[in-house]
Structure 1
Amino acid sequence: MRARRAATALRVVRRVAGLAAVAAAATTAVAALGVAATLRLADLPAAQAGSTVDVELVLAVDISYSMDPDEQALQREGYVAALTSPEFLSALRQGMHGRIAVTYVEWAGAADQRVLVPWRIVDGAASAETFAAAIAEAPYRRAYRTSISGALQFSAELFASSGERGIRRVIDVSGDGANNQGPLVDQTRDEVVAKGITINGLPLVLKRPSAATLDLEALDVYYEDCVIGGPSAFVVPIRDRSQFKEATRTKLVLEVAGATPPARPVPVSATTPRVEPRVSCTIGERMWQQRWGRGSDFN
């Protein structure tokens, strides 16, 4: 069963790794899979005997003003398509329980996080389509600032209300910018990981760096070093708009299958030795202050 789960995830990874943009990101988790063509299944906690779902999954998506309307639409469409894809449903069926608990959250500033779709059980095509439809039908909104740390804190607290006990607990955070408000993101990451939660990243690396827009060229590296963490954590960057659906599907398949790349460039878990980040984890705050100064309410 584990071999089938790994094979299912690997087939999707190979398709994404075959895209030119992802192949260029050889240091990322997906590119590593494309080269190594191997997967290591995540270690399961000893308490799996009492579990009721394979994973409790929070999908936390950025809706800050740096996300233009087209990006927002593509981001949402990516999750809708991924949740109803044959690859996702196959990975779901092959889990120990064949069911997951999932919720969809939108976030922006430190005090702006909302549950768009509450916790639901997805255990097959019908429930997956119902969950995806709830995402697709919700109205769009945008908000000020970017607080990944606020999103992580909010998401971590949601597990207490899932009503289920997962073999794994995962926060899937996507966004197009660095943390510029709220607690420091790396410290928050460590606090969340210490609770036994894995944080995976889907950074949108679509724009040219600009001081005016606070875009960060090495956003995928920032996510690797400052945002993700926990057992088997990984990053799947999106470098081209055409990648949204493929990359999102890959990420969800890996999360449901409990699979991960064989290695990550830098260990980021609070339980592993500290490695100096390649990108400052306070770069977002510094960029904000340089542009607007302290106390500004503009994004």
Structure 2
Amino acid sequence: MFDALLLACLACAHPIASPPAPLAVDVELVLAVDISLSMDEKEFALQRAGYVEALRHPDFIQAVRSGNTGRIALAYFEWAGTVRDDAIISWQIIDSAESANSFADKVAARPFRSFRGTSISTALGFGAGLFDRADFTGERSVIDISGDGPNNIGPPVTAMRDAATAQGIVINGLPILISPSPTFKHLDQYYAQCVTGGPGSFVLPIYAAAEFSTAIRRKLILEVSGIQDKAGVIPVDADAPIDCLQGERDKRFFSDPYLPELDR
């Protein structure tokens, strides 16, 4: 009995420490970047340079530092018909020029490569899952997804969008229309109606190569700051509804050369 009381007193004197609270950040931001074969080498180079330049830019760093906590959490991955394990840059705190440049260095060091298929839905599902791996607590959770074509593999894109937004995740889009498909000319409205969602979500299309760097920088600043500056952003045109399954239907119609390649 005495031993039990002694142990109880010792436990009272030395309580077990609580785990540290998750680090607070202004936003948890996932960059999901299209590397499908429909992106030519020039577009790849422009897209990569755009992200690297945006991450290094003083205006982006100032936007980060101006938040309530003065820091964000950032993750990056590349996708096509699927997401491969070696295509991910894990979560990193961005709170200074040094940390922003460190992340930009990791993006710049990635090899140029592409593979087949365009599964926006898989990218959204993977991006949503990354928030479960984050050791942070953010005021906002945002997926920033870029691409140059509609979903043509995997679950319907609207189902994955709705699942993500139901978790409180905001999805913003950067559709690339430098070389638009002759069979799918309204990628901006497709992103607006079928891909993006959540409070304050927006679509910022790129129509010319010269717009890449400034558009990506502006998009990141809007996402980090939460500013609702929508000049140049595509509104959803409810009077011109888009077929959110057109990409899947077109692919079946023109045959499917991609699926055998996805698991290689």
- Taking structure 1 as the reference length, what is the TM-score of the superposition? 0.75
Q: Which residue of 2 aligns with 1:74?
A: 46
Q: After superposition, where does 1:218-233 map in structure 2 within 5 Å?
A: 218-233=186-201
Identity of aligned residues (%): 47
Partners of 1:134 and 1:227 lie apart in 2 by: 27
Partners of 2:250 and 2:178 lie apart in 1 by: 18
For 1:157, the aligned partner's letter is: G
Q: Which has the higher contact order (CA 8 A, sep 6+)?
A: 1
SS in 2 for 1:292: coil
SS in 1 for 2:53: helix
For 1:222, the aligned partner's letter is: Y
SS in 1 for 2:177: coil
Q: Which residue of 1 aligns with 2:10?
A: none
- Taking structure 2 as the reference length, what is the TM-score of the superposition? 0.84
Work out whether residues 37 and 114 of structure 2, in 8 Å CA contact, stay in contact via their aligned partners in 1.
yes
The answer to whether the aligner puts 1:255 opposite 2:223 as a matched pair is: yes
Q: How many residues align?
A: 240
Unaligned stretches of 5+ residues in structure 1: 1-49, 268-274
Unaligned stretches of 5+ residues in structure 2: 1-21
Partners of 1:117 and 1:110 lie apart in 2 by: 16
2:107 alignment partner, one of 104, 115, 135: 135
2:61 alignment partner, one of 81, 89, 95: 89
Q: Which residue of 1 aligns with 2:249?
A: 286
Deviations 1:241-294 (A, max 9, x none): 010000000000000001224697339xxxxxxx68721100111110110159
Partners of 1:256 and 1:118 lie apart in 2 by: 18
Residue 208 of structure 1 deviates from its aligned partner by 4.0
Deviations 1:105-131 (A, max 9, x none): 000114657543111000010000000
The answer to whether the aligner puts 1:265 opposite 2:235 as a matched pair is: yes
Q: Which residue of 2 aligns with 1:181?
A: 153
Residue 233 of structure 1 deviates from its aligned partner by 0.2
SS in 2 for 1:284: helix
For 2:114, the aligned partner's letter is: R
Q: Which residue of 1 aligns with 2:206?
A: 238
Q: Give the direction of change, closer, same or farther, for the CA distance of 1:166–1:277 in structure 2 (3 Å limit).
A: farther
Greater C-alpha radius of gyration: 2
1:194 alignment partner, one of 143, 159, 166: 166
